[in-house]
């Protein structure tokens, strides 16, 4: 299946702009950037000579961070797969040069293969990282003024 990772350069620019617009909408409806910002409540590290206490707090804070990361991932998956599957499929379809209204004309296995190819391509990851950074910038209060 043709996708952003294996298309010709002459095909990519217009499609990248369509993807950019779709991702912008996707970021707004899924609120992914806000979910990513959720942080656990951490215990402050006291100034003390008690190394055991400091180590306990460091270990506990690491557990809290890991648990929050798992919860954030679960919440993001709920948003993109359950609450907003149409918007998610639109982005994936556009990454595969398929019109969103034709998304069901291909088996899921083709999209999964394409998805793994997309996330394995350094250039594609860079493109999406840029879109995510732009999404983070656009969702800040300063950019909305």
Note the pLDDT tens digit of each residue in 20-72.
999 999 999 999 999 999 999 999 988 877 889 999 999 999 999 999 999 99
What integer pLDDT is reported at residue 142 of this predicted model? 40
Q: Is-above-0.75 flag for pTM? A: yes
Give the pLDDT confidence of 86-136 residue by residue, as tens digits. Answer: 999 999 999 999 999 999 999 999 999 999 999 999 999 999 999 988 876
pLDDT at 143 over 80: no
Give the confidence band of 77 by pLDDT, cuts at 50, 70, 90. very high
pLDDT at 12 over 60: yes
What integer pLDDT is reported at residue 140 of this predicted model? 43
How many residues appear in the chain? 145
Domain boundaries, the chain: 9-139
Query: 3: closest CA among 91, 80, 88, 94?
Result: 94
Give the confidence band of 137 by pLDDT, cuts at 50, 70, 90. low
Dihedral of alpha carbons 114, 119, 124, 129, sign: positive
């Amino acid at each position: 299946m043709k996708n952003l990772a294996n298309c010709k350069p002459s095909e990519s620019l217009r499609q990248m702009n369509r993807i950019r617009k779709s991702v912008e909408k996707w970021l707004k409806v899924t609120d992914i950037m806000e979910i990513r910002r959720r942080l656990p409540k951490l215990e402050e590290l006291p100034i003390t000579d008690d190394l055991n206490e400091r180590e306990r707090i460091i270990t506990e804070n690491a557990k809290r961070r890991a648990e929050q990361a798992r919860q954030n991932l679960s919440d993001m998956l709920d948003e993109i797969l359950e609450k907003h599957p149409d918007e998610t499929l639109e982005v994936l379809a556009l990454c595969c040069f398929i019109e969103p209204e034709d998304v069901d004309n291909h088996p899921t296995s083709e999209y999964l293969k394409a998805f793994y190819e997309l996330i394995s391509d350094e250039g594609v990851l860079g493109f999406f990282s840029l879109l995510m950074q732009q999404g983070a910038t656009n969702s800040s209060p300063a950019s909305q003024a």
